[in-house]
Structure 1
């Protein structure tokens, strides 16, 4: 039987309540995702939290086989 381990990665929006951009640059996110992929992590889902029409945080869920 296959066994998996799981990891979460959370990105918070900037401190400003009215911002529409995340505090992490897209090329930085790409680098993080590529590094995790090299370690065998697979992105399986993401959830964004929206307050008053603005994204406040995004959580990415990864898994890899043990």
Structure 2
């Protein structure tokens, strides 16, 4: 769904992409976001972002 953001120029609507465990640090961010934008939502998981073992290695 669209998310409404209040700015100095008024309301702006954007698509929200939420990633529970974060993105993979060793892969290009744009390619990961592209995969999330165009994924088949009938599939419950994105394999590359599900069940990752490197979640604890994400920098603080």
Q: Normalising to structure 1: TM-score of the pair?
A: 0.28
Q: Which has the higher contact order (CA 8 A, sep 6+)?
A: 1
| TM-score normalised according to structure 2 size | 0.30
The structure richer in helix per residue is 2
